Structure 1
Amino acid sequence: MTVTVEGQHQPSAPVQAAYSYCEAVTGQQARNFAYGIRLLPAEKRRAMSALYAFSRRVDDIGDGTLAPGEKKERLEATRHLLDRIRSDKVDEDDTDPVAVALADSARRFPIPLDGLDELIDGVLMDVHGAAYETWDDLKAYCRCVAGAIGRLSLGVFGTHPGAPGADRAPEYADTLGLALQLTNILRDVREDAENGRTYLPADDLAKFGCGDGFGGPLPEGSDFAGLVHFEVRRARALFAEGYRLLPLLDRRSGACVAAMAGIYRRLLDRIERDPEAVLRGRVSLPGREKAYVAVRGLSGLDTRHVARRDVRRRTR
């Protein structure tokens, strides 16, 4: 239940409590996304926090210590919960705050909830131990776990009515999600290897003599730096395409996306400068730099700088 005050929807007390829970989850666990989400007006910020909290639950099941069979059961139970939300069978008296918040958000915004089914499908690929021979194989996985999040977020952001190219906004949001996920994969090479996972395509590993992954020493003569630089170029091309989304959004939604993408672009820059750093540990940005990127995103400065830099690189 909601009421309207001065043109804005005000959640009832139980729904507000559910949103507060999701915002706490986002603030504690969304190490990069939280900086962008804070730039949104309250209603969109709450909806994005609900989406994040549900997505976090799915990811935590996949990354947890349960046996594969138990993970599958938990993921299918989560899909059943999503079906209840989609069918409008979750009300403010439900005991699950994430379900309450997401159900309320789905009533307010045209969120394509099928994207969360795709996320569950992607995490099931992890549970099944899927391997990726080619970039096309990996791209299908990235579309499930990240591209879908971009399209879900677009349901909250909306686009300028009648804006040229607005019909391609879901495509751009999907591509930007791929760019972020590929950056994540590069950043987490060591952590994923410790968990028995290799995401980079086998074709690319072979091309640079890196064997079948990073669970042990690299083969003699391997060109790990060459592999990283190759994937960085691929990620930059995805960012360049995905950034076409920004002019289609209102100022604060565009600032949110620019801040989140800007943080990952700077991570990509660090990885490019020192490829072997990802083998030593997780590459990250200090909080003050993330905050700086968020401020630049609000002003549009960081996005314009990246766009000019990409043009210079393409014309060299």
Structure 2
Amino acid sequence: MHMQGLSAQATKRPQDENFPVASLVLSRRHRDAVLSFYRFARMADDIADAPAMSPAEKLARLDALEQALVLGDETVPQAARLNAADARHGAGLAEARQLLRAFRQDVVKARYLDWAELEAYCTLSANPVGRFLLRLHGESDAAHGPADALCTALQILNHIQDCARDRTQLDRIYIPLGWLDPAGGEHAFFEPSQAKARRGVLDAMLDRVDDWIDRARALPERLQDRRLRAQSIATISLALALSRRLRRHDPVEARVAISKTDAARAFIGGLAKAPRRPIDQDARIAAAVVNRSGSSFWLGMQSLTQERRRAIHAVYAFCRAVDDIADGAAPSFEKRRFLAEWRREIDRLHRAPQTPIGRELARASIRYKLPLSECHALIDGVETDCAERVRISDDRALDLYARRVAGSVGALSIRIFGAPAAHDFAIGLGRTLQLVNILRDVDEDAACERVYVPLSRLAQAGLQDAPASILVADPRFAGLCEALAAEARAGFAAADDALKRLDRAALKPAILMMESYRRILDHLEVRGWGARQGRLHLTAGDRFQLFTMAMRAA
């Protein structure tokens, strides 16, 4: 099949792409091969996207293009050049054939059911690009995992960025169909007036993308070629910049792009950092999760020694990761799948963890003998929150839920604090803190159709199960909140009593956490339970008192 007519009509040049293609950072001896790979991929992409061709013609042309690549057919310069580059460098042909599978898929598949299908597409459409660069530069297999993570992140960022254009011009939607449902389905998702519902879905997708970017941060330290390392640092920086922009701006209303300032900053940073000895990013990633969260536990963490603080950062980052899954806008079945991935990560923690948080958690587990069964218990508890409608049947179920989502964190933390004898204290305090969480977040939870006051207690008050907003607005619900508050107050008293027999110095972070929650309960009781006005936060005065307490010897 004659192909030269189309090959002269490339729709993009390397400099038109979001992310660097054959940049000047790369060595001259590699740049020509990279350009050959890019031009071949660009040609194949243009065939798959050609509006005037039928699907059958597109597939035939892609088959002919692959044959030209394998044979090095001189009548198709893009194929011949890449074939020659592969002969010189031992890289390009196999990866390009993988890309052709993705382009064929684009011809016949316009929708994706779930996140797994989207990620599988990325293994064909994006990951081969990273594998090509690694093989071209003679890098080891150790770089494959983070390189795949970066390529997957870049591909999904492009899909989010171009979601409106892909739908109108190509009738393709890479946002999984199951993820469109919370926003009202495909048509509603793309309605300009549905920005709020769309925002939740986009942010949930970006949460997954940011997880891939975090995995990719290990790439520079695993690369031997300094120039490729510089480009990887720049590309990671650009991915983060685009993710941040997509969180601030709506790609359905207007295409969101990286600024020239972002690009310049990324490349300057890549060139500056590449010559240095690569830094282990895992601890930084876990600490960044803690810093972003603004957790009331932050002050307690700061009172620890550096090594213990690093370990508690790992535990908190893990808790935050699984909790964010439950609280995001992804469909319930996807949330459960993401939690299952974390279960597998915990199971392989002492063999080969695949995530930065997993590696940090493994380090903490070895150093402080953490019971990993508690990590599974936390996931069990968080899985309760993944349901589209959450109700707790009775007091026993409430105790089990609190033991899993809060007691597990306490059981892990006291070992890092150096007070394993305080296990019972940690479990009891965890339940108390969870009761305060439930009281503080009544309305926020109700908006997600979650009610944690047990159905058995609702029935005793004469309340039948109903939509959450109706239940929490009923005057009788206030009385149930008062009863829970009394239980929490008793829990704090029991913790005070237990501390008389425990190592208060070692438990200082737990005490600071306890006091912050005690103050929240104080404010909730002063405000009352019948006239709630949004989520209650600690005051500046509260924070100053806690800071003063942290500065004093325990």
Q: Could you tell me the TM-score, scaled by structure 2's length? A: 0.46
Superposition map of 1:218-257 within 5 A: 222-243=475-496, 244-245=498-499, 247-249=501-503, 251=505, 253-257=506-510
Match of 2:470 in 1: 216
Runs of 5+ unmatched residues, structure 1: 1-11, 161-165, 302-316
Instruction: Report the more deviating stretch, 206-215 or 57-66.
Output: 206-215
Match of 1:89 in 2: 352
Deviation at 1:110, TM superposition (A): 1.4
Distance in 2, matches of 1:23 and 1:219, equals 39
Distance in 1, matches of 2:364 and 2:279, equals 10
8 Å contact 2:314–2:364 — kept in the other structure? yes
Which amino acid is the alignment partner of residue 282 of structure 1? R
Q: Provide closer, same or farther for how the CA distance between residues 178 and 30 of structure 1 changes in structure 2, counting only shifts above 3 A.
A: farther
Distance in 2, matches of 1:14 and 1:149, equals 32
Superposition map of 1:75-114 within 5 A: 75-85=339-349, 87-90=350-353, 96-114=355-373
Report the secondary structure of 2:535's partner residue: coil
Match of 1:205 in 2: 458
Larger Rg: 2
Q: Provide closer, same or farther for how the CA distance between residues 143 and 65 of structure 1 changes in structure 2, counting only shifts above 3 A.
A: same
Of residues 22, 32, 37, the one that matches 2:286 is: 22
Q: Provide closer, same or farther for how the CA distance between residues 149 and 108 of structure 1 changes in structure 2, counting only shifts above 3 A.
A: same
Instruction: Report the more deviating stretch, 242-251 or 269-278.
Output: 242-251
Distance in 2, matches of 1:266 and 1:140, equals 25
8 Å contact 1:180–1:264 — kept in the other structure? yes
Q: Provide closer, same or farther for how the CA distance between residues 219 and 72 of structure 1 changes in structure 2, counting only shifts above 3 A.
A: closer
Deviation at 1:285, TM superposition (A): 0.5
Of residues 401, 405, 411, the one that matches 1:145 is: 405
8 Å contact 1:263–1:293 — kept in the other structure? yes
Say whether 1:62 aligns with 2:305. Answer: no
Report the secondary structure of 1:111's partner residue: coil
Deviation at 1:250, TM superposition (A): 5.5
> What is the aligned-residue RMSD (CA, Å)?
2.6
Q: Provide closer, same or farther for how the CA distance between residues 217 and 83 of structure 1 changes in structure 2, counting only shifts above 3 A.
A: closer
Which amino acid is the alignment partner of residue 552 of structure 2? S
Deviation at 1:286, TM superposition (A): 2.7
Report the secondary structure of 1:281's partner residue: coil
Which amino acid is the alignment partner of residue 215 of structure 1? S
Deviation at 1:15, TM superposition (A): 7.8
Match of 2:527 in 1: 274
Of residues 386, 391, 395, the one that matches 1:135 is: 395
Deviation at 1:284, TM superposition (A): 0.8
8 Å contact 1:179–1:235 — kept in the other structure? yes
> 1:180-225, CA deviations, whole angstroms, 9 ceiling, x for partnerless residues?
11100000000100001100112323344555364127676x3344
> 1:34-54, CA deviations, whole angstroms, 9 ceiling, x for partnerless residues?
121111111111111110001
8 Å contact 2:336–2:386 — kept in the other structure? yes
> 1:75-114, CA deviations, whole angstroms, 9 ceiling, x for partnerless residues?
10111011111x3434xxx5x3212211111121111121
Say whether 1:284 aligns with 2:537. Answer: yes
Distance in 2, matches of 1:203 and 1:37, equals 38
Say whether 1:52 aligns with 2:285. Answer: no
> 1:260-305, CA deviations, whole angstroms, 9 ceiling, x for partnerless residues?
110000000111111237732001113552242243255378xxxx
8 Å contact 1:271–1:278 — kept in the other structure? no
Q: Provide closer, same or farther for how the CA distance between residues 276 and 76 of structure 1 changes in structure 2, counting only shifts above 3 A.
A: same
Q: Provide closer, same or farther for how the CA distance between residues 298 and 261 of structure 1 changes in structure 2, counting only shifts above 3 A.
A: farther
Say whether 1:176 aligns with 2:429. Answer: yes
Distance in 1, matches of 2:540 and 2:371, equals 32
Match of 2:375 in 1: 116
Q: Provide closer, same or farther for how the CA distance between residues 217 and 101 of structure 1 changes in structure 2, counting only shifts above 3 A.
A: closer
Of residues 172, 177, 189, the one that matches 2:442 is: 189
> Structure with the greater relative contact order (CA < 8 A, sep ≥ 6): 1 or 2?
1
Runs of 5+ unmatched residues, structure 2: 1-220, 222-276
Report runs of 4+ in structure 1 exceeding 4 Å deviation. Answer: 12-16, 217-220
8 Å contact 1:151–1:173 — kept in the other structure? yes
- State the percentage of identical aligned residues: 34
Match of 1:158 in 2: 418
Report the secondary structure of 1:279's partner residue: coil
Q: Could you tell me the TM-score, scaled by structure 1's length? A: 0.79
Alignment length, in residue pairs? 276
Distance in 2, matches of 1:297 and 1:37, equals 10
Distance in 1, matches of 2:338 and 2:531, equals 32
Distance in 2, matches of 1:159 and 1:218, equals 39
Instruction: Report the more deviating stretch, 25-34 or 204-213.
Output: 204-213
Report the secondary structure of 1:284's partner residue: coil
Q: Provide closer, same or farther for how the CA distance between residues 80 and 232 of structure 1 changes in structure 2, counting only shifts above 3 A.
A: same
Q: Provide closer, same or farther for how the CA distance between residues 108 and 219 of structure 1 changes in structure 2, counting only shifts above 3 A.
A: closer
Of residues 287, 296, 307, the one that matches 1:43 is: 307
Q: Provide closer, same or farther for how the CA distance between residues 184 and 291 of structure 1 changes in structure 2, counting only shifts above 3 A.
A: same
8 Å contact 1:174–1:242 — kept in the other structure? no
Distance in 2, matches of 1:207 and 1:15, equals 58
